[in-house]
Structure 1
């Protein structure tokens, strides 16, 4: 159902901490102009847990306008199943093309609880669902066995695989074939995941470097792996910024330097400073200075 590059877009704020819809629209249009295939609002990178439900739906609407008919998904990541279902219902009423679901963000649910939560949220939305499996960040692992159990519900159409174990991608395909659209959710494993069969990439550094991200994906799909690998090797130091406690600040700094956006984040986060900022800025500026010439993708 879904494939391609789906940016996990960042949420933009004004100096008074209100949502900056104009800047979001500008940045999201840059993604669409580069050829991305859909947008995902209010995930980890989009600071979803720091936003009210109303704010999240407002960000979704901005994504829908920018996506111009391509899929616009809302992330559902709540501490309680009840709140997750309420947000999922509202996403459906707002016309979301689907939802990406984090099973449990505070309580580390067991497999039975995780499956029950995913089923409840899918039923509440009655929309296509991308399951977000990230045992590293959220300590809830949606295993291959659990995906097999959930396969009887056609609303579960995709999985964002973020276990940080590239073998998991092959395990999913070996067990379930093409039952799920397999997306990689780890920027610095994207080439590897696409090489073993992933059909999509939920990307972060794409926000600052959209054309390079799209080029890697399209080259891989065309079997031009060596050309994709050359770009990926240049990209890797940047992509490592996505795998960090400070991924939001890192990527917003990259957006500020590469596309002229800003670094504003919602508290308790604060913009990077000191040695951490200096290191990230060195990586970003070096990448900008050595940006590769992209091949013809026609």
Structure 2
């Protein structure tokens, strides 16, 4: 359940801002057809903070309908612990396979508060939990000492390692062995993380380029690193689009160009325009023109 390529999918909206379940079904199905190993909904890329709790559960339901029994995780990223616990409990009732949990994105918790908050959410949902550690975006770093304090609770099974320090993956594995499944959460560090022992990739650009993402992971798992690296080097300019304040707009534009999807976002976000749009579109179109053959990756 906690290995492989797990897309952090985008949430699809209609032109008037409502949930577009038909387009989500189509796009989520493309991920499953490519061989992805699960789905994570309503994260940063999924515009979770712009969705109501009811809407998040609707997106969860849509993802479960196309996942073919593969795990579907709901992201819990609430300002308050009480609200996070309530959402976790509802997710469990709604059939989520597990949770990806972010400490409060508004208040930057210290170590004691981080442990208490994560523990409370895990208890409320009583589901397997992937800890989302992203000190760059959320200013809360779930370090090895903090993980040590959480390790006794068996509900904590994995960590989405997004510290932007490739050394952290090795530090976690050296300290805990296989106690936690380590998945990389930084697209443009994926090859590096998989090289040093990460067992999975919570991916962003996969939503536009699922076949290439899955190919890299499978080649790495098979020890065919040189072949994986060739695809990864082609992929890197695209993967860099994930590491940006505008990651949602960047990736939705990539989806529009690569798989014919939509770019609708929820305000305060607006679709890319002007020079920024032109730059991203050039990156995506160049990648599409130079798309590698994946015949040997099978």
Q: CA deviation at 1:6?
A: 0.3
Q: CA deviation at 1:103?
A: 0.9
Quote the Cα distance in structure 1 between the aligned partners of 2:80 and 2:296: 47
Q: Deviations over 1:21-74 (max 9, x none)?
A: 000000000000000000000000000000000000000011101111000000
Taking the TM superposition and a 5 Å limit, the aligned residue runs for 1:1-298 are 1-298=1-298
SS of 1:153's equivalent?
Answer: coil
Q: Deviations over 1:236-263 (max 9, x none)?
A: 0000000000000000000000000010
Q: Deviations over 1:258-293 (max 9, x none)?
A: 000010000000000111111100000000000000
Q: CA deviation at 1:297?
A: 4.1
Quote the Cα distance in structure 2 between the aligned partners of 1:227 and 1:138: 34
5+ unaligned residues in a row in structure 1: which ranges? none
SS of 1:104's equivalent?
Answer: coil
Q: CA deviation at 1:104?
A: 1.3
Quote the Cα distance in structure 2 between the aligned partners of 1:9 and 1:92: 20
Quote the Cα distance in structure 2 between the aligned partners of 1:219 and 1:237: 20
Q: CA deviation at 1:295?
A: 3.5
Q: CA deviation at 1:149?
A: 1.0
* Deviating 4+ runs (over 6 angstroms): none
SS of 1:140's equivalent?
Answer: coil
Q: CA deviation at 1:15?
A: 1.0
**C-alpha RMSD of matched pairs (Å):** 0.6
SS of 2:296's equivalent?
Answer: coil
How many residues of Structure 1 are paired with residues of Structure 2 in the alignment?
Answer: 298
Q: CA deviation at 1:2?
A: 1.2
SS of 1:106's equivalent?
Answer: coil
SS of 1:55's equivalent?
Answer: helix
Q: CA deviation at 1:231?
A: 0.1
Q: TM-score, normalised by structure 2?
A: 0.99
Q: CA deviation at 1:148?
A: 1.1
Q: CA deviation at 1:296?
A: 3.4
5+ unaligned residues in a row in structure 2: which ranges? none
Quote the Cα distance in structure 2 between the aligned partners of 1:297 and 1:290: 17
SS of 1:158's equivalent?
Answer: strand
Quote the Cα distance in structure 1 between the aligned partners of 2:181 and 2:144: 14
Quote the Cα distance in structure 2 between the aligned partners of 1:10 and 1:17: 14
SS of 2:114's equivalent?
Answer: helix
